[in-house]
Amino acid sequence: MNTNTSDAVLVKNYIDGNERALEVLVLRHKSRVYNFIYSKVLDGDLSEDIFQDTFIKVIRTLRKGTYNEEGKFLPWLMRIAHNLIIDHFRKSNRMPKFESKDKEFDIFSMLKDSGRNAEKQLIVDQISADVRKLVDELPEDQKQVVYMRLFKDMSFKEIAENTDVSINTALGRMRYAIINLRRLVVEHNIVLTE
């Protein structure tokens, strides 16, 4: 692999597991992408963040096998950077900043929000989405019981009546569902904690 290798070949090599291919791609396009971002946001630290997020998005997409640009890597890369810049401006417009003029006492440093912050909420949402996906992997009878018990908060008596089985069968299905969920979590090395 040399500096003349095309982007398309490098992308293919990277998808096949060659980490060096990504390094060549990053080094080849870093200046162009970074300058493009900086020209829009005019802030060094912010440009670094958006640059980093751009390549993280590229890595995720390539690793998940959902990339289908067929030889047009650079326009795709620039489009990701462009979309992230737009996302940044949308967010900053939605969140006006308040700054106290009084350096001694700042009311905003005294205020506390005991609820989840945005990061924690994102993590909780992600865990919840992962659990739902895991539940979807279960056999139909077990999936039904888990949904009714955990997501609809139904009692085992109600579940038994709704699924036309005895309470003991519903309890058994729940037990097997939990055993299977634990197995899936261990098999795929998934961490489901805040």
Partner 1 sequence: MPKIYSQGSKRMNNLQPKQETIDFILNFSKAIHVVKTRSMLIEVHKN
Compute the half-sphere exposure of residue 177: CA atoms within 13 Å on the CB side of its CA.
25
d(CA 35, CA 76): 16
- For every residue of 161-175, DSSP letters joined together read HHHTS-HHHHHHHHH
Look at the alpha carbons of 119, 124, 127, 128 in this order and tell me if their dihedral is positive or negative: negative
**43 sits near partner 1 (criterion: CB under 8 A):** no
With tokens 């945005």, the residue in question is 118
**23 sits near partner 1 (criterion: CB under 8 A):** yes
47 neighbors 85 (Cβ within 8 angstroms) = no
d(CA 131, CA 143): 12
Q: Which residue from 60, 90, 152, 183 is in contact with partner 1, where contact means CB under 8 A?
A: 60
Q: Which residue from 16, 19, 104, 119 is in contact with partner 1, where contact means CB under 8 A?
A: 19
Q: How far is the CB of 110 from partner 1 (least distance, A)?
A: 35
Number of residues that bind partner 1 (CB under 8 A): 30
Range in contact with partner 1 (rule: CB under 8 A) among 49-57, 68-76, 99-107, 158-166:
49-57
**194 sits near partner 1 (criterion: CB under 8 A):** no
Q: How far is the CB of 18 from partner 1 (least distance, A)?
A: 11
**55 sits near partner 1 (criterion: CB under 8 A):** yes
Residue 29 gets which letter from DSSP? H
User: Which amino acid belongs to residue 142?
Assistant: Q
Q: In the chain, helix, strand, coil percent, each to 5?
A: 70, 0, 30
Q: How far is the CB of 86 from partner 1 (least distance, A)?
A: 19
With tokens 């751009």, the residue in question is 54
Q: What is the distance, to the nearest Å, from the Cα of residue 170 to the centroid of all Cα atoms in its chain?
A: 34
- Give whichever of 125 and 136 is closer to partner 1, judged by the CB atom: 136
Q: Which residue from 6, 39, 92, 168 is in contact with partner 1, where contact means CB under 8 A?
A: 39
Q: How far is the CB of 130 from partner 1 (least distance, A)?
A: 7
Q: Which of residues 106-145 bind partner 1 (CB under 8 A)?
A: 130, 133, 136-137
Residues engaged in binding partner 1 (CB under 8 A): 19, 22-23, 26-27, 30-31, 34-35, 38-39, 47-48, 51-52, 55-56, 59-60, 63-65, 130, 133, 136-137, 184, 188-190
